[in-house]
C-alpha cells in the first residue's frame, strides 16, 4: 500500500489555533502536522504553554482548529465522542455514582444493556486493581484510586483512541509509578492508540512508542523521537542502560526548550 493511501489512526494536517484574547489575537498552535499509526502510544512533552492541551482538545473535538483538519480513522473530527476516550488531569468522576456506575456510565450512554455493562465495568475495575472498591463512592477514594477509575472508565467504552492530559500529574511518585505500570499492563493487554501528555521525561520514555517534543512561541511540533525499547516494560525497565540513554537524550532536548522559554 502506498504511503499516500495508508489510513492512519490520527492525522493532523496544517492545524493552527488562534485564541481571541482581550489583548488581541494569540497564536497557540502554528501549522501542526502529525500522522499517528494505530496502537501507537504517543507521549507529548514540551514547556508549559506550548499548546499540548490545545492540540489534544482539538483532536478530542472539544473545539475546532482555526485552520487545518484532524482526521480520526479517515473521518474529519467535528465534535467529541465517537470512538474517543478522554482522561483529564483532574479526575472528572460523578460524585453521586459508585465506582462501578462511573465506569459503566459511558456504556449506558451507548445503550449497552445492564448485565453486559456491569460485566464490562467489573473487568476494567479488576484490571486497575479496584475490585474491593466497586461499590465505593469517589469521595471515599484517594487521588490515585480516582485516577484509576477514570482510566477504567475511558477503557470500558473501548474507544479507538485514548487521550490523556497529564493524568498522573497530581500524584505522588509511588502512586504514579503504580499507575504507569497499570496503564502499561492495560495497554499491553488491549492495544489502543494513546495520546498522553506529560511533563515527566522518564514517564514519556517508559510508556511510549514515540515521543512528540513541542516548542512554544507559537506552539509547534519540534521533533518526533522513536522509542526503540521493546515490550513488555515495567518499572524495572527504568534501570536498563538503553532506557537511561534515551531519557538523558530527551532530557537534554526538552530542558533546552524550557530554558529557551525562560529567555
Ligand atoms: N481558551 C483559551 N483562550 C485563550 N487562550 C488560551 C485558551 N486555551 C489556551 N490558551 C493559550 O494557549 C497557549 C497554549 O495553552 P495550552 O493549555 O495548550 O498549553 P500546554 O502546553 O497544555 O501548557 P501546560 O503544560 O501548562 O498545561 C497558552 O498561552 C494559553 O494561555
Ligand atoms: Mg496543558
Q: How far apart are the first and last CA of the chain?
A: 46
71 CB burial (10 A radius; 0-12, 13-18, 19+): middle
Distance 166 CA to ligand 2 centre (A): 7
The number of the ligand 1 atom at minimal distance from the alpha carbon of 55 is: 18
The residues, any chain, with a CB within 8 Å of residue 72's CB and separated by 6 or more, are 9, 10, 59, 82, 83, 84, 160, 161
Question: Is 49's C-beta closer than 6 angstroms to any atom of ligand 1?
Answer: yes
Question: Is 50's C-beta closer than 6 angstroms to any atom of ligand 1?
Answer: yes
The number of the ligand 1 atom at minimal distance from the alpha carbon of 166 is: 27
* pLDDT at residue 236 tops 60: yes
* pLDDT at residue 241 tops 60: yes
* Pocket-testing residue among 53, 216, 221, ligand 1, by greatest number of atoms within 8 A of Cβ: 53
Task: Give the residue among 74, 15, 40, 44 at the shortest CA–CA distance from 218.
Answer: 15
| Per-residue pLDDT tens digits for 202-216 | 999 999 999 999 999
Distance 180 CA to ligand 1 centre (A): 25
Q: What is the structure's pLDDT at 91?
A: 66
What are the beta bridge partners of residue 254? none
Residue nearest to atom 5 of ligand 1 (CA): 19
Look up the pTM and report it. 0.89
Instruction: Name the region of 142 (left: φ>0; alpha: ψ -120 to 50; beta: rest).
Output: beta
Averaged pLDDT, 249-263: 79
Q: Spell out the domains of the chain, with CATH numbers in brackets.
A: 3-78+200-262 (3.40.50.300)
Amino acid at each position: 500500500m502506498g504511503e499516500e493511501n495508508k489510513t492512519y489512526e490520527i492525522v493532523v494536517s496544517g492545524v493552527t489555533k488562534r485564541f481571541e484574547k482581550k489583548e488581541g489575537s494569540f497564536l497557540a498552535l502554528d501549522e501542526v502536522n502529525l500522522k499517528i499509526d494505530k496502537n501507537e502510544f504517543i507521549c507529548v512533552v514540551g514547556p508549559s504553554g506550548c499548546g499540548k492541551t490545545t492540540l489534544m482538545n482539538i483532536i478530542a473535538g472539544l473545539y475546532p482548529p482555526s485552520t487545518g483538519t484532524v482526521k480520526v480513522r479517515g473521518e474529519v473530527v467535528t465534535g467529541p465522542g465517537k470512538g474517543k476516550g478522554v482522561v483529564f488531569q483532574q479526575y472528572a468522576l460523578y460524585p453521586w455514582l459508585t465506582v462501578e456506575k462511573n465506569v459503566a456510565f459511558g456504556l449506558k450512554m451507548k445503550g449497552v444493556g445492564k448485565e453486559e455493562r456491569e460485566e464490562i465495568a467489573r473487568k476494567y475495575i479488576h484490571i486497575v486493581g479496584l475490585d474491593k472498591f466497586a461499590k465505593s463512592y469517589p469521595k471515599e477514594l484517594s487521588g490515585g484510586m480516582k485516577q484509576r477509575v477514570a482510566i477504567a472508565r475511558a477503557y470500558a467504552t473501548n474507544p479507538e483512541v485514548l487521550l490523556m492530559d497529564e493524568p498522573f500529574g497530581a500524584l505522588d511518585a509511588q502512586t504514579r509509578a503504580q499507575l504507569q505500570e497499570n496503564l502499561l499492563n492495560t495497554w499491553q493487554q488491549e492495544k489502543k492508540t494513546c495520546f498522553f501528555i506529560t511533563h515527566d521525561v522518564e514517564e514519556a520514555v517508559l510508556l511510549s512508542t514515540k515521543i512528540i517534543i513541542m516548542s512554544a512561541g507559537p506552539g509547534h511540533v519540534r521533533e518526533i523521537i522513536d522509542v526503540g525499547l521493546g515490550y513488555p516494560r515495567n518499572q524495572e525497565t527504568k534501570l536498563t542502560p538503553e532506557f537511561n540513554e534515551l531519557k538523558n537524550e530527551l532530557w537534554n532536548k526538552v530542558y533546552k526548550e524550557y530554558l529557551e522559554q525562560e529567555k
